[in-house]
Structures are given as structure tokens and as C-alpha cells.
């Protein structure tokens, strides 16, 4: 019975060390690395025009460089499309919206740089959540 109790205590200790989501916020600068889980608000930048190749979406906090962005499944992709299609568009064809998202940071398939793959996405409310 004693080895089983050590195993149980060891498993509990490892689970308590599991990574918690990195909190991101649209009003401050943040950075992420591949393997992070993220949750919070970000500014979504997306191109809505037709004359651009490699104009993928990105997310960032205030004063930070953008991090690549992708959707994890069709449900999140549909939310992304609704957000982009209903947002005001600037003269160059870009939209910028504050969104609440959660997901994981994965390597971009072309560059290997970190990008957030959103598993949950919605417009942020006025209070930022």
C-alpha cells in the first residue's frame, strides 16, 4: 500500500505544477512562447481586402509587435469571420478589434515563430473581458 500512496502523492505534486494560462491584455505589452496556454484580451488585426497574399491575422497588446493568429476549429473560424465582417474597415482594408480569446501557442508552420491558435474567441466587452 505504501508504494501506491507515494505514487498518488507524486501525481498530485506534478499536477499542481501544471502550467496555468498566460494572462494577456490588450492594454499592455506581453509576449508568448511556443507551448504557452493563453487567455485574455488582445487587439485582433485582420485584412479584409482582396489584393494581398500572406496577409494573415495577428493579435497583440498595446505597443507590442503582433503575434500570428489562427483558429483551432470551424466554430472559432465562424466567430472570427463574424467579427471581421462586422468591424469597421480602414482605408487600407484592415480591421482592428479588441477580442477575448483563449488558446495555445504553436509554431507557425512557415516560420516556426510563435502564433496563437484560438480555441475560444469573442468580442471583448466594454470592461475588457
The DSSP bridge partners found for residue 42 are 99
Domain extent, residue 98, equals 20-123
Q: Is residue 92 part of a domain?
A: yes
2 occurs within a structural domain: no
Give a yes or no: residue 58 inside a domain. Answer: yes
pLDDT string in tens for the chain (129-residue length): 555 454 444 544 444 455 678 999 999 999 999 999 999 999 999 998 777 777 789 999 999 999 999 999 999 999 999 999 999 999 989 999 999 999 999 999 989 999 999 999 999 986 666
Handedness of CA 106, 110, 111, 115 (dihedral sign): negative
Residue 105 lies in a domain: yes
In a domain? residue 104: yes
Q: Within 10 A of 80 (CB to CB), how many other CB atoms are there?
A: 20
Based on the structure, what is the number of domains in the chain? 1
Judge whether 5 lies within some domain.
no
Beta carbons of 39 and 24 less than 8 angstroms apart: yes
Amino acid at each position: 500500500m505504501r508504494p501506491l500512496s507515494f505514487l498518488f502523492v507524486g501525481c498530485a505534486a506534478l499536477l499542481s505544477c501544471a502550467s496555468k494560462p498566460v494572462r494577456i491584455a490588450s492594454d499592455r505589452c506581453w509576449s508568448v512562447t511556443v507551448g504557452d496556454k493563453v487567455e485574455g484580451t488582445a487587439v485582433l488585426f485582420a485584412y479584409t481586402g482582396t489584393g494581398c497574399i500572406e496577409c494573415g491575422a495577428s493579435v497583440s497588446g498595446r505597443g507590442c509587435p503582433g503575434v500570428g493568429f489562427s483558429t483551432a476549429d470551424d466554430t472559432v473560424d465562424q466567430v472570427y469571420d463574424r467579427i471581421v465582417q462586422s468591424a469597421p474597415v480602414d482605408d487600407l482594408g484592415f480591421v482592428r478589434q479588441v477580442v477575448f480569446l483563449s488558446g495555445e501557442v504553436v509554431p507557425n508552420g512557415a516560420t516556426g515563430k510563435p502564433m496563437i491558435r484560438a480555441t475560444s474567441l469573442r468580442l471583448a466587452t466594454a470592461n475588457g473581458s
